[in-house]
Structure 1
């Protein structure tokens, strides 16, 4: 993976030479290029900011240096395949950075980061960049920092550690906080009994039992309890699919793509027969398209319980995202349930899961289905959706929307 960072404080990125990320750079797993924005100014004072039009406190970063810097990043990293980076701009007005987003970004070959300062970057820079590469404004949380460098450090570490070979024991990534929608369970090490002053604190006996089944159940229960206590908002999403025969719900990663493609084709074959055409997107896509979709949407996959230490069978999936350019609309799609499990309420639960993943900015839910898919249309109407007049977003389809309550 290649990473480019543009900042007026390039030395701020020095911590990326440390620990696992530094080792990944030295091992060639990660190529990091840091660019000083002031190198792209044209005056002797190396000016990067000016006062805002319309008045107000603070300064705004000028468009000319940023345009030159970003054009340099694109040309400097361009290869024979004419690829461009995905530009990420940290800002409190962006989409929330999550573990699911970290997984999506880890599947991309080239990321660039623009570290704003002061009152922000001239809005025209976003327009300039968007004409050349994908652009996403990303927020670490509902607070304001002095600049984007701290956020870039956090995002690079979250993404880079997911790259193969960066973390020595890949299994340690599986049950971390926010993997599968839950927080991590409590962890302990020696001694089994610790004399903490006048208090003796013991490790839970189940962890000393050697019963790996009991340990796994204890850890799952602790993850649920800890999530309920500390992040009840996450439990609300997970509870949407509660009680469905103990199925496992996780956010899909690129490794899930082959099974998702098989499930997708199995689920849309009946629609192809009814419509008389196999040229519909879910049947027309290949593996690369599914992988690309995982980078553009948050995709949940539902599996049967694991057996023998491996992943269970995928039996359902759904995806959702904020509509590009309109943060008030939440798009759901690729809702699919294995044919032998249809009619048991899993599809309804998955639709609820997708809706529950929408951020607070969303006022309207949107979904699309084939015009001939009368069963789907009835199900969506029962869930509160209403048909939009006219042709849908794709030929032969209809759009349905629902106002968020």
Structure 2
């Protein structure tokens, strides 16, 4: 898998991808993550990549020319399955979307900034728009990092125990059951006895019951969406 991320501040994400699961996945050649500075594709003085919006109003808009050059320079080298733009009006990122993206081979992520990107770029190149929530960030960099991390951890071999990702919250439409580790007694609070029993079937049943109960209490919307 290869993920190319176009941003006006790529250094914001550099450290993120140099640690933990994303770092190991890259080191083991499971994924390539490349950061591209949009300013490198500007033909204007001072490498400017934004301009005032037609019709007036506050804020600046990322210009179509550098974005087009960046996208087409990447597409000239390989075929991309998706060109994803991160925007508040995109579809909200859900686990089923992540699962689908984890099956892709090559993707381009476009990080918006300021008031967004010229609409014509969305019409010509973007195949999917994603939001990570109903709030506004300064740019799409954090959304791109969140999405990339969610995808990479599903790549076979990225996590030591591949079954771990398959038992995360949302994979089966439920929140995960509570988890415990040593010591069995922490300041008088005991680990549920069933988890110490060694009885796999009973442990599995307990975890399902806890997942269902926790989902009903904290995210009942997940059950009504079934």
Shorter-chain TM range is over 0.9
The residue number in structure 1 matching 2:93 is: 97
For 1:168 and 1:38, locate their aligned partners in 2 and report how far apart those are by CA, in whole Å.
Answer: 38
Give the structure-2-normalised TM-score: 0.96
* Secondary structure of the corresponding residue to residue 113 of structure 1: strand
Identify the structure with the greater strand proportion.
Answer: 1
The count of corresponding residues between Structure 1 and Structure 2 is 225
The Cα shift of 1:190 comes to: 1.0
Separation (CA, whole Å) in 2 of partners of 1:194 and 1:125: 56
Instruction: Please provide the CA RMSD for this pair.
Output: 1.1
Moved over 2 A (4+): none
How far apart, in 1, do the equivalents of 2:153 and 2:37 lie?
Answer: 25
- Separation (CA, whole Å) in 2 of partners of 1:176 and 1:43: 47
In the alignment, is residue 71 of structure 1 matched against residue 59 of structure 2? no
Report the Cα offset of residue 237 of structure 1.
Answer: 2.5
Cα shift readout 1:153-190 (whole Å, capped 9, x = no counterpart): 00000001101110110111222100110000000011
Task: Quote the residue 1:118 is aligned against.
Answer: 114
CA contact (8 A) 1:67 1:128 kept: no
Please give the residue correspondences for 1:264-303 in structure 2 after superposition, counting only pairs within 5 Å: none
User: Aligned match of 2:135 in 134, 139, 143?
Assistant: 143
| Match of residue 399 from structure 1 | none
CA contact (8 A) 1:90 1:138 kept: yes
1:2 is matched with 2
TM-score w.r.t. structure 1 length? Answer: 0.54
Contact 2:92-2:131 at 8 Å conserved across structures: yes
Unaligned runs of 5+ in 1: 239-405
Separation in structure 2 between the aligned mates of residue 9 and residue 233 of structure 1, nearest angstrom:
36
Question: Any unmatched runs of 5+ in structure 2?
Answer: none
CA-to-partner distance for each residue in 1:260-317, whole Å, 9 max, x for gaps? xxxxxxxxxxxxxxxxxxxxxxxxxxxxxxxxxxxxxxxxxxxxxxxxxxxxxxxxxx
In 1, distance between residues paired with 2:201 and 2:32? 42
CA contact (8 A) 2:80 2:108 kept: no
Q: Secondary structure at the match of 1:42?
A: coil
> Using the alignment, how far apart are the partners of 1:84 and 1:154 within structure 2?
20
Is contact 2:80–2:105 with CA below 8 Å preserved after alignment? no
From the CA coordinates, give the structure whose radius of gyration is larger.
1
